Chain A
């Protein structure tokens, strides 16, 4: 692994590799996850789930379950209807005519996927509750499953009777001035490609499945909801609305959360069930998800069919992009389900300079499968995959090196800030630099020579080189842009910085870390700004009573929005401290400078006052300037003026065993540019994990269902999450193009690795096999799939 240290010389903390302060508690088992909480007297909830993908619920008989030892209550979906003040929330009605089926925490009339909750039990132990599920008698009338997207679109079987159709919506991206341009560009093109790709369904599979505990205060009326969630703030608002609880009586806490990857950016049935039943029974109610349950009852990701067409002139310069998506919503719309394909809508031209000729349309349908929603990258890996695979197809059509084609089309450095066809402004970038750096690290020229020597006629071990250059649109998001996309919330983030009397600093953040390392990173930002040691900074988060304002963690937003808010709050505190310093030093504010945690009069360094002294003055308030409030604390709510636009180039080198179809990744180079880095160690970790997740989509993972909608990958033996021994050593490189959008110059890095990886891997496999007539490779490229693809390509060549 190569490490590039991104430290800016002027900084003392920012940009330096620093171990994470979160890790000792996590590594020693001291950290408390939701299921570790000791909650005396809690009842355990277990949910009976439909074994059918699609079935009418004729009757539910819980009487035998009620007679089981330890069982306190058992309910059918119909029994609980009075508890719901509103439907399960979907916060993203992407079009005015979007169809959204009725969805309640337990199904009442119909089960619409395997895993859909139909009844539940409360018992004195988890084991007793789960045993009792077996005694519930549900009479089902099985109905035909709808698994295939085209089949869904045909309305052969309509899943939600009240909608009359399986189509949820069609969303078009209307680019000003594009009218007629696209057709003209295709008519006049020297080269065109028309490619079809499938993004298989993926299971996010956080190491910690979900867990919930709702603890009521029967006589005070308040209730605390603990949940393994990425979105305590959103969950609080939505739970209050859905259950009709006065919002001020609800507190949401996310204890240590063992990964989310977007799957915990949601409001789930079990959160609502625990809260409602805890209120009803006036005792705590908790639920812990099993692994198999997690593969069915927690959202899935991706699940799209893509048709992308590119038009190019004689030099290979792109002249138009046309995209048609068919997206699988699953059985219901969860919190942001319909918006996921839309998050990718702007990126199907990738890092390339494209005139206004862009035509995007997405149609989304219901199936009788687990609902889909956000999964690491959410829409953007899909977009990047399509354009980067199609660029390879175009290069092969033109007969030039895929790297050369990319270079001819990159948005050039001097074109930034770049106003894109979509009306969005890409604030910064240097794609050529990132690509050059990746090529240098991978020895691209050497590899091509090696490949020529190795992939001779009859060779059974074939070398392939895949490139993927990506643009990522993250740091969600400018609230006004979200408004234009019909998203029902803003994109701001809040931070409070509080200097305690003894000069220790508390940061309150609205972000909700679940593995990312915000405590370390926010401490470093504060340390740099305030001249204190990062260990003297405490970061408070993920509890709506402590951090009441926030919009949580997803969409690689935490640093470019939440971290920036922290930095801005520091500036506000420093401004206030300066007033106190000026007052105490009897100097003019303009004559003061703040260096290494101390204010001094420019030119006379002995006239100085350290922050520690000011903090104490602010606390005692004995001698403050007239009109200045005591205490040293500031709050900032920051609404970003633009997205953040990280980018990079990944190169994957594979060797394919054509006899068995086995793919070995020999080299993986990732050059990512996330602007200024707060902690390069965390950046590397995010890229490692992200790359592995993309590689997992390319090679291993798939939520397989049979034609009856029965899930076939329901545990970690069947759903192939790669382990450390299955992934290559990743060579990392970075370029640094600071974001001009925010004062820290930072961009998100949480999803970039995943976005870049899958197309790099598949491009490499197709490249390895191009001599055998292979032009595409479905994901996951399992050995069997690779072998079959070679067989049919060979058959076609004969």
Chain B
């Protein structure tokens, strides 16, 4: 991973934004955003609420469509045709703050549903892989439970496993621990940390600065629809380049 960070111009980035603009009606939410993410990188996106972090993330897999600029993901420039492709979407995993799991399906069915429908896996195949991964995140005994019967932390871990079962090349996280009680945050971050070590490309919107410092290759700081600062995690935390980032860090680190 550190090797990859050194070989900057070796390969085309797996995610590339070029002057991307996004409006919601009169609201200008992304203002000429440029971004490059190499395969295998872990990028933490932070910034004040309403700064456009979620929108940025959702543009990557086409949940939001930009009005101008180009977004290239895994070598394909996003347009209607690309986004119609189930395989393209399935290669980008997504975990929300909450309501990720389907409440009317058991954990096992939540996990095997899309692999069977989209990838055409047999039931035995899908369930075998699901059991294996659930075991690894310590949820083997919850396999037949409904999401409503799990704690928030267990739900988020199951949601991560569900995304991983599609064999994604990119994982997106939108504040995956923000709705959790403090004691559950750690169990989710542990799973994410392991995932980062395995070399997965990850874009994580989070306020967990400890996680960012430890795991992130790159920190992207956003404010009012702009990427104000992009820096390696170490330098972002030790000496942020902009006044706005300094103020933000002040607030989240010593609230």
A and B associate in one complex: no
Chain A residues at the B interface, C-beta cutoff of 8 Å = none
Interface residues, chain B, with chain A CB atoms under 8 Å away: none
